[in-house]
Protein backbone atom coordinates (compact mmCIF):
# COMPACT_ATOMS: atom_id res chain seq x y z
CA UNK A 1 0.00 0.00 0.00
CA UNK A 2 1.37 3.40 -0.94
CA UNK A 3 1.30 6.36 1.39
CA UNK A 4 0.66 6.55 5.08
CA UNK A 5 -1.21 3.94 7.06
CA UNK A 6 -3.91 5.24 9.37
CA UNK A 7 -3.77 2.00 11.33
CA UNK A 8 -0.07 2.64 11.96
CA UNK A 9 -0.63 6.33 12.73
CA UNK A 10 -3.28 5.57 15.37
CA UNK A 11 -1.16 2.76 16.83
CA UNK A 12 1.88 5.03 17.13
CA UNK A 13 -0.07 7.95 18.58
CA UNK A 14 -1.84 5.64 21.05
CA UNK A 15 1.55 4.55 22.39
CA UNK A 16 2.65 8.16 22.79
CA UNK A 17 -0.63 9.01 24.52
CA UNK A 18 0.00 6.22 27.04
CA UNK A 19 3.18 8.03 28.04
CA UNK A 20 1.26 11.26 28.50
CA UNK A 21 -1.37 9.42 30.57
CA UNK A 22 1.39 8.19 32.90
CA UNK A 23 3.27 11.48 33.11
CA UNK A 24 0.37 13.98 33.02
CA UNK A 25 -2.55 12.01 34.48
CA UNK A 26 -4.61 15.03 35.55
CA UNK A 27 -4.39 16.71 32.15
CA UNK A 28 -5.13 13.51 30.26
CA UNK A 29 -7.94 12.56 32.67
CA UNK A 30 -9.48 15.97 32.15
CA UNK A 31 -9.22 15.64 28.38
CA UNK A 32 -10.77 12.16 28.48
CA UNK A 33 -13.65 13.41 30.65
CA UNK A 34 -14.23 16.31 28.26
CA UNK A 35 -14.27 13.98 25.24
CA UNK A 36 -16.67 11.58 26.95
CA UNK A 37 -19.02 14.40 27.92
CA UNK A 38 -18.90 16.06 24.53
CA UNK A 39 -19.54 12.87 22.57
CA UNK A 40 -22.36 11.30 24.60
CA UNK A 41 -25.80 11.09 23.01
CA UNK A 42 -27.92 14.17 23.53
CA UNK A 43 -29.72 16.45 21.11
CA UNK A 44 -27.17 15.11 18.61
CA UNK A 45 -26.35 11.42 18.45
CA UNK A 46 -22.87 10.13 19.19
CA UNK A 47 -22.55 9.32 15.47
CA UNK A 48 -23.45 12.89 14.48
CA UNK A 49 -20.94 14.25 16.98
CA UNK A 50 -18.22 11.96 15.64
CA UNK A 51 -18.98 13.20 12.11
CA UNK A 52 -18.50 16.76 13.38
CA UNK A 53 -15.25 15.75 15.08
CA UNK A 54 -14.05 14.13 11.86
CA UNK A 55 -14.93 17.28 9.90
CA UNK A 56 -12.84 19.37 12.28
CA UNK A 57 -9.98 16.86 12.06
CA UNK A 58 -10.10 17.00 8.25
CA UNK A 59 -10.24 20.80 8.24
CA UNK A 60 -7.32 20.89 10.72
CA UNK A 61 -5.36 18.41 8.58
CA UNK A 62 -4.79 16.09 11.56
CA UNK A 63 -3.97 12.53 10.45
CA UNK A 64 -4.36 11.05 13.93
CA UNK A 65 -7.73 12.80 14.39
CA UNK A 66 -8.90 11.38 11.07
CA UNK A 67 -7.78 7.89 12.07
CA UNK A 68 -9.30 7.90 15.55
CA UNK A 69 -12.62 9.41 14.43
CA UNK A 70 -12.93 7.07 11.43
CA UNK A 71 -12.40 4.12 13.80
CA UNK A 72 -15.13 5.46 16.09
CA UNK A 73 -17.47 6.10 13.17
CA UNK A 74 -17.06 2.55 11.88
CA UNK A 75 -17.77 1.25 15.41
CA UNK A 76 -20.94 3.39 15.44
CA UNK A 77 -22.06 2.06 12.04
CA UNK A 78 -21.50 5.11 9.85
CA UNK A 79 -22.63 4.58 6.28
CA UNK A 80 -20.42 5.43 3.36
CA UNK A 81 -23.08 7.95 2.29
CA UNK A 82 -22.97 9.73 5.67
CA UNK A 83 -19.19 9.88 5.47
CA UNK A 84 -19.16 11.20 1.90
CA UNK A 85 -21.75 13.90 2.69
CA UNK A 86 -19.71 15.02 5.70
CA UNK A 87 -16.55 15.16 3.59
CA UNK A 88 -18.45 17.10 0.91
CA UNK A 89 -19.39 19.77 3.45
CA UNK A 90 -15.77 19.87 4.63
CA UNK A 91 -14.61 20.45 1.08
CA UNK A 92 -17.23 23.16 0.49
CA UNK A 93 -16.11 25.01 3.63
CA UNK A 94 -12.36 24.48 3.26
CA UNK A 95 -11.62 24.37 -0.46
CA UNK A 96 -8.75 22.52 -2.14
CA UNK A 97 -6.50 21.85 0.87
CA UNK A 98 -9.41 20.32 2.78
CA UNK A 99 -10.33 18.27 -0.29
CA UNK A 100 -6.91 16.58 -0.08
CA UNK A 101 -7.59 15.59 3.55
CA UNK A 102 -11.15 14.55 2.70
CA UNK A 103 -9.52 12.09 0.29
CA UNK A 104 -7.24 10.94 3.14
CA UNK A 105 -10.32 10.38 5.34
CA UNK A 106 -11.79 8.14 2.62
CA UNK A 107 -8.51 6.20 2.55
CA UNK A 108 -8.63 5.85 6.34
CA UNK A 109 -12.24 4.63 6.16
CA UNK A 110 -11.37 2.02 3.56
CA UNK A 111 -8.24 0.91 5.46
CA UNK A 112 -10.03 0.50 8.81
CA UNK A 113 -13.13 -1.04 7.22
CA UNK A 114 -11.02 -3.64 5.41
CA UNK A 115 -9.14 -4.39 8.62
CA UNK A 116 -12.37 -4.82 10.61
CA UNK A 117 -13.69 -7.29 8.04
CA UNK A 118 -10.61 -9.54 8.25
CA UNK A 119 -10.34 -12.19 10.96
CA UNK A 120 -7.56 -11.29 13.39
CA UNK A 121 -4.92 -13.89 14.16
CA UNK A 122 -4.03 -14.38 17.79
CA UNK A 123 -0.47 -15.13 18.80
CA UNK A 124 -0.16 -18.18 21.08
Q: What is the mean pLDDT of residues 14-36?
A: 96
- Report the candidate in 101, 98, 72 with the shortest Cα–Cα distance to residue 4: 101
**CB contact set of 56 (below 8 Å; sequence gap of 6+):** 65
Distance of CA 43 to the CA centre of its chain: 21
121 pLDDT higher than 90: no
The pLDDT assigned to 1 comes to 43
Q: Where along the chain do its domains lie?
A: 6-117
Taking 60 as the threshold, does the pLDDT of residue 78 lie above it?
A: yes
What CA dihedral angle connects 56, 34, 64 and 25, to 10 degrees? 150
CATH class of 6-117: mainly alpha
What are the pLDDT digits (tens) for 40-54? 999 999 999 999 999
**pTM of the full predicted structure?**
0.84
pLDDT at 97 over 80: yes
Interatomic CA distance for residues 63 and 102, integer angstroms: 11
pLDDT of 33 strictly over 90: yes
Amino acid sequence: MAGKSFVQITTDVSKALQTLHREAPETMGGFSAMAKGALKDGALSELQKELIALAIGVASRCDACIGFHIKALIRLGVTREQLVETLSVCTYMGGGPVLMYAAEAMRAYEEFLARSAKPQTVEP
